[in-house]
Amino acid sequence: MNLQRVCRPLADLRLTLFSLGLLMVLVAICTVAQVRMGVFEAVDRYMRGFFVWWHPAALPFPIPVFPGGATAGLLLLLNLLASFVVRLRLVKEQAGLWLIHAGLVGFVAAEFSTGMFAVETLMQISEGQTRNYTESRERIELAIVDPSDAETVSVTAIPASRLRAGRSVSPPGLPFHLITRGYFENAAIAERTTEAPMAVNLATAGTGATRSIFPQEAFGGDQKAQNSPAAFVEVLEGDKSHGVWLLSAMVADPEIVEVAGAKYALSLRHERHYLPFWLTLRDFRHDVYPGTEIPKNFSSLVRLSDPPAGEDRDVLIYMNNPLRYGGKAFYQSGYQGDATTILQVVDNPGWLIPYVAFCVVGAGMLVQFLGHFFGFVPVARGGREADA
C-alpha cells in the first residue's frame, strides 16, 4: 500500500509527457550544438550529465542552467517503474504493454551503461606489424620505459592531466622525479631559433636542446585528436638535475635519460591500453568503384594470437563485420595509405543490452498486435481509464 502511495505521483502521465518533451528539447539542442562543438562534446554537455552547466566569466564556478539528458532519462525510468506498480496490472490483456515498456527500460539503461563504462580507442597497424595495445584518440600520457630487464619491459605512464607547469610527479619505483616546466596542448616543432618571438626554448638536454616549439591554438570538440601536445620536463635525481627535456607527440623516438646508471626512455604519446593478446596485420585491402574515388570496400586480414588461451588464427575484419574478442570489438574504421589499417576498438560491457531490450519490446509488440488481431486484447488505448 505504502509503495502505491509513493509511486502514484511518480507514475503520473503528465510526468511522462514532461520528460519526453524535455528529452526532445535536449536532443534538438544537442544536434544543433554538434555543428559548433562536435559530437563528443555536445553529447557530454547536453546528454550525459544530470545538468547542463554554464560558466559565466564573472563566477568562479559553473552553475546548472537546465536539466541534462541524464535527468530526463532518470525521470523516465522512475516514471516507467512507478507506472508498473500503479497502473499496469498483471493481467493477460496488458502483457504486451508490460513487455514493451520493460524493454524501453533496457534502452535507457544501455545508454547509461555506455556513458559510464564504454571506452573507444584506436589501433593503427601497418602490414607486417604486430600490436598488443590500442591508443586513445585524444588522451595523452608521458611514458617512461625501463628497459633494464630484458625479459619484460616495464612501463610507467603519467596522464597528461598531471603535467601542469610547475607540478612535480614522482613515479613509483623509479630513482627520479619530474617537474613540468611547460605544457602545450598544441605546438609545432622546428629547428631551434632565438629570433622568432613565438618560439619557446626551455630544453637543455636531448634533441630538444637544438629545437624550438611554437605553441598554437588548440583544437576543440571532435578535432581534439589533431592536437600535437608538447611538454618540457625536468628530470631530478633528488636535488640533482639531469636537464630539461622536450617531449612531443610529433616525435616518434623517445628521449633516453640516464639516471643512476640505468637508461630510461621518455616519450609523450597517445594513451596506450595494453591487451593480453596480439594482432598482426597480414593484408589490408582497399577497393574503389571502377573509375571513381568512391570506396567500395575495405578489409583487414589479421592474425590473432593469444597463447594462454590457445588461440592462433586469421580473422578478416571488414565493413559491418567486426572481430569480437576478449570483451572488445575491433571494427574496420579507416586507413592510411595502402598498407596501414585503422581499427576502432570498443570496450562496452553493456553492448548486448539493446539487443535484449529490442527482443523484449519486439515480443511485446507481437503480443499486443496479435492480441488485437485475435481479439483477446480489447482495442484499448493504453492506460486511459486508469489515469483519467
Partner 1 sequence: MKKWIPWIAMGLAAAYALAGLGRPKYGTDLDWVGVGELPVLQGGRLKPLDTVARNTLLTFRGKQTLRSEEGTTSALEWLLRALADPGRADKDKVFVIHDPDVLGLLGFQVKDKYFSFDDMGPHLERIRDQAERASKIESKQRTRFQGAVLNLHERLMTYQMLRHTVQDPASESFPSDIRAFVGKLGPGREALRASGGKPRAEDPAIAALADSFTRFQLMAQAGYFRFLPPLAGEGKDDWRNMGEGLLVSLSSGEIHPLAGRYAAMMEAFRKGDKGAFAAELAAIREYLGAHHAGVLRQMGHEFTFNHAGPFYRGIVLYVMAFLLVCFSWLRWSDVLGKAAYRVLLVAFVVHTLGLVARVVLQGRPPVTNLYSSAVFVGWAAVLMAVVIEALFRRGFATAAAAVTGFVTLIIAHHLASTGDTMEMMRAVLDSNFWLGTHVVTITIGYSATFLAGGLAHIYILRGVFSRSFSAEAAKSVAQMVYGVVCFSLLFTFVGTVLGGIWADQSWGRFWGWDPKENGALLIVLWDAIALHARSGNHVGEKGFMVMAVFGNIITAISWFGVNMLGIGLHSYGFMDAALFWLVTFILSQWAVMFIGSLPDRKWKSPVGAAA
Q: Is 289 in the site for partner 1 (CB under 8 A)?
A: yes
> Per the structure block, which three cell numbers stand in for 200?
619557446
Tell me the β-bridge partners of 300: 284, 317
Q: Is 64 in the site for partner 1 (CB under 8 A)?
A: no
CA 246 to chain centre: 28
Shortest distance, CB of residue 222 to partner 1, whole angstroms?
Answer: 9
Label the pairing between strands 119-126 and 262-288.
Answer: unpaired
Q: Is 190 in the site for partner 1 (CB under 8 A)?
A: no
CA–CA distance, 321 with 318 (Å, rounded to integer): 5
Closer residue to partner 1 (CB): 13 or 169: 13
User: Using the rule CB under 8 A, which residue among 129, 355, 366, 370 binds partner 1?
Assistant: 355
Q: Is 361 in the site for partner 1 (CB under 8 A)?
A: yes
Residues 34-63 that bind partner 1 (CB under 8 A): 34-35, 39, 42-43, 47
Q: Is 370 in the site for partner 1 (CB under 8 A)?
A: no
Q: How far is CA 240 from CA 50, 62, 231, 237, in A?
A: 49, 42, 20, 5
Shortest distance, CB of residue 379 to partner 1, whole angstroms?
Answer: 10
CA–CA distance, 191 with 197 (Å, rounded to integer): 14
Q: Is 255 in the site for partner 1 (CB under 8 A)?
A: no
Q: What are phi and psi of 11, to 5 degrees?
A: -85, 0
CA dihedral 275, 278, 281, 287 (to 10 degrees): -50
Shortest distance, CB of residue 2 to partner 1, whole angstroms?
Answer: 25
Non-local CB neighbours of 158 within 8 Å, separated by 6+ positions: 141, 142, 143, 144, 169, 171, 178
Scored b (16 or more CB within 10 A) or e, 148-175 reads eeeeeeeebebebeebeeeeeeebeebe
**Residue 114 host element (H or E):** helix 95-117
Shortest distance, CB of residue 101 to partner 1, whole angstroms?
Answer: 11
Closer residue to partner 1 (CB): 214 or 358: 358
Shortest distance, CB of residue 387 to partner 1, whole angstroms?
Answer: 5
Q: Is 339 in the site for partner 1 (CB under 8 A)?
A: no
Q: Is 157 in the site for partner 1 (CB under 8 A)?
A: no
Q: Is 154 in the site for partner 1 (CB under 8 A)?
A: no
Shortest distance, CB of residue 331 to partner 1, whole angstroms?
Answer: 5
Q: How many residues bind to partner 1 according to rule CB under 8 A? A: 57
Shortest distance, CB of residue 127 to partner 1, whole angstroms?
Answer: 19
Closer residue to partner 1 (CB): 3 or 17: 17
CA–CA distance, 14 with 215 (Å, rounded to integer): 54
> Per the structure block, which three cell numbers stand in for 316?
578478416
- Summarize as ranges the residues that interact with partner 1 (CB under 8 A): 13-14, 16-17, 20-21, 23-24, 27-28, 30-32, 34-35, 39, 42-43, 47, 107, 110-111, 114, 120, 288-292, 294-298, 319-322, 329, 331, 333, 344, 346, 348, 351, 354-355, 358, 361-362, 365, 381-384, 387-388
